[in-house]
Amino acid sequence: SVVIPFHNEQLSTLLRTLTSVVKRSPSALLKEVILVDDCSTLDCSREELEKALWQWGGLVRVVRTTQREGSTKARVIGASYATQDVISYLDSHVEVNQRWLEPIVSHINTNNKAIVMSTLDTITTEKFELQGAGWGFHGGFNWNLEFYWKGLPDRILNKLQRTYDPVPSPIMPAGAFALHREFYMWLGLLDPDMKIWGVDDVEFSFRAWQCGASVEIHPCSHVGHIFRPHIPYTFGNDTSQRVVFHNSVRTAEVVLEHYKKFFYAQANHHKVDVNMTSLRARRQLKSDNNCHDFSWFMQNVIPEMPLPPQDAVHYEHIMPKETKDNCIDVDQTD
């Protein structure tokens, strides 16, 4: 099952995504494509999309939400309609490459606790040119709970026997990944109480590793992704900063345990309301699944990541307000 959530995506871009999935996926593996329309407001595109879907018969179907749910909950809704053993999530602005599906399905069939991400190539926004991703990188995070790409440490490079072996990744972006449906349900899905957008992939990566999964990037599966310079939709009556901070607080309170002090020391704080009952339920889920604590994650999944000073009240980059040319020096004399 391929699940593609979207909100006000340009029809031409969405159809490029769908066409690539249908044409470049073996019919023996691709049984259904579930589009989750997260309360889009582009009515003209809705009618044209319905017409376009006729060419694929019943292979592609649309599920529509009645209110704006956000990308995380839209993915969860899509999973509830999936009928196949493997669920593959794709963003609505991608193009899958040849033989993108076979390697990840094969790997999941070998290890049903593997969460497998495709290698994300870049599709340029202006000319739609494909730029291949380099090898030797995986996902990391900072204490603001932001994802970033980082070079593979020696401990992983020394274990990889071949350049086409799946690469373990502490954190994965959510643009193109797949996993076994039953294991996904056991994990507790993506956190459905995350708002609109942001941090859900970081939280899920933390929880997956802690609960027995392996999060990996498969170098033989390639998906081109349009990395947009800004988020092309609104956050309802809220701001993007408050929404992301809300999701970050949920992650810190459920996953980070005593490490959450590093997040709060770094974060730009916003007043947010967090559902405490929901937080207790997510913590209980980890307990019921006998998941490792976050210390285990730091020691076993990303041991090379340095910890901030234990007594830090706040820390961040310091930059002069007037000019970036000046530096700060420390007087070593008493």
Domain-embedded: residue 184: yes
Domain-embedded: residue 115: yes
**Max Cα–Cα distance, the chain, nearest Å:** 79
- Domain limits at 194? 2-225
SS3 34: strand
pLDDT in tens, 95-141: 999 999 999 999 999 999 999 999 999 998 888 888 888 888 999 99
Domain-embedded: residue 151: yes
Strand 33-37, strand 60-64: pairing? parallel
Domain-embedded: residue 21: yes
pLDDT in tens, 284-315: 999 999 999 999 999 999 999 988 876 655 55
Domain-embedded: residue 30: yes
Q: Are 87 and 178 contacting, i.e. CB atoms less than 8 angstroms apart?
A: yes
Domain-embedded: residue 101: yes
Domain-embedded: residue 242: no
SS3 138: strand
Please state whether the predicted TM-score (pTM) of the whole model is above 0.85: yes
Half-sphere exposure of 43 (CA within 13 A, CB side): 0
Instruction: Give the whole-angstrom CA distance, residue 171 versus residue 150.
Output: 10
pLDDT in tens, 188-221: 999 999 988 889 999 999 999 999 999 999 999 9
Nearest to 77 by CA among 41, 30, 117, 34: 34
Q: What is the dihedral of CA 232, 233, 235, 236, to 10 degrees?
A: 160
Q: How many domains does the chain have?
A: 1
The CATH number of the domain holding residue 116 is 3.90.550.10
Domain-embedded: residue 168: yes
Q: Are 53 and 21 contacting, i.e. CB atoms less than 8 angstroms apart?
A: no
- The distance of Cα 329 from the centroid of its chain, to the nearest Å, equals 39
Number of H helices, E strands in the chain: 11, 12
Strand 176-180, strand 167-168: pairing? unpaired
Q: Where are the alpha helices (DSSP H) in the chain?
A: 11-23, 43-52, 71-81, 101-110, 154-157, 181-187, 200-210, 240-251, 260-266, 276-288, 294-300
